[in-house]
Amino acid sequence: MGILEVRNVSKRFGGLQALNNVNLTVEQGSVHAIIGPNGAGKSTLLNCFVGRLTPDTGSVMFDGHSLLGAKPHQINQFGVSRVFQTPEIFTDLTVLENVMIPTFAKRDGAYKLNPLARVSQETEVRDHAEATLSDVGLLDKRKMVASSLSRGDKRRLEMAMCLAQDPKLLLLDEPTAGMSRADTNRTIDLLKQIGESRGITKVIIEHDMHVVFSLAQKIAVLAQGTVIVEDVPENIKGHPKVREAYLGE
Ligand code: ADP
Ligand code: MG
């Protein structure tokens, strides 16, 4: 049994079968990549994991919880965190404030009733946020307004906002999209380092094969809403079905 078990998930948008009986098993602590041509259903599948979409049929189990019908904040409490295709950060706040907010959100119920505890926890939250910023290499920029960050740094900030919640599962939808080669390589290093220091399971949707083959232990190839191959990277390269799926793009 994997930490994430996807069984027979289907999703239709009007006349379009976006997902068709998708099965996926993600092992605890591993990096699992989902690749496939544009429009294959990758983002739709991820949206089914975080409560943005409800599949028509099938089940999604994470760490003993069903993710179907759960609200996004509940899924977050289960330990699932997501990096979006376009960074979703608070542009008017500082880098540090951006990371303190998700930390507070996670601890909300705990400090609300007790002002004294709140003060001590604020220091705790600040320390935790600073440690997380240090992990992603943004500590020096903690006082900057988020809107003034470079594109690569905004992605790093978003990663920090996810990590601040100590997730068990990190979902990444094209984390290197629009990045320079140098920033892409830095992101690969960062994701490797996060894996080693925190043991977080990751599901990564990615177009850039360099990123996929640098990180993934398992690769699922999605084409027209169906997983056509799921295997270790060595067996994906040059696989006839994979080549066929991409030729149509
Ligand atoms: P990918 O992320 O693999 O590029 P998507 O999951 O975004 O693909 O989309 C899969 C298919 O579903 C596409 O044909 C897309 O146009 C369609 N689609 C995605 N979201 C919606 C929606 N909310 N309503 C209608 N069609 C959608
Ligand atoms: Mg997509």
93 and 74, same structural domain? no
For residue 224, the CA-to-ligand 2 centroid distance in Å is 13
Q: For position 85, what pLDDT does the model report?
A: 57
Assigned domain for 160 exists: no
Contact assessment for residue 229 and residue 33, using Cβ atoms and an 8 Å cutoff: no
In this prediction, the answer to ipTM > 0.90 reads: yes
Domain hosting residue 172, numbered range: 4-79+167-247
Q: For position 179, what pLDDT does the model report?
A: 81
For residue 16, the CA-to-ligand 1 centroid distance in Å is 9
Of 122, 150, 178, the residue that ends a domain is 150
Section 66-80 average pLDDT: 88
Assigned domain for 217 exists: yes
Assigned domain for 126 exists: yes
Percentage of the chain beyond pLDDT 70 is: 90
Name the residue with higher pLDDT: 180 or 149.
149
- Quick one: which ligand is closest to 172's CA? 2
Contact assessment for residue 219 and residue 15, using Cβ atoms and an 8 Å cutoff: no
For residue 110, the CA-to-ligand 2 centroid distance in Å is 36
Q: Which atom from ligand 1 is nearest to the alpha carbon of 53?
A: 23
pLDDT in tens, 6-38: 999 999 999 999 999 999 999 999 999 999 999
Neighbouring residues of 244: CB distance < 8 A, sequence distance ≥ 6: none
Looking at the DSSP bridge assignments, the partners of residue 12 are 17
- Quick one: which ligand is closest to 15's CA? 1
pTM of the model: 0.87
Assigned domain for 133 exists: yes
Percentage of the chain beyond pLDDT 90 is: 56
Angle at alpha carbon of residue 218, lines to 215 and 220, rounded to 5°: 115
71 and 173, same structural domain? yes
User: CA 137 to CA 226: how far, in whole Å?
Assistant: 38
172 and 234, same structural domain? yes
106 and 73, same structural domain? no
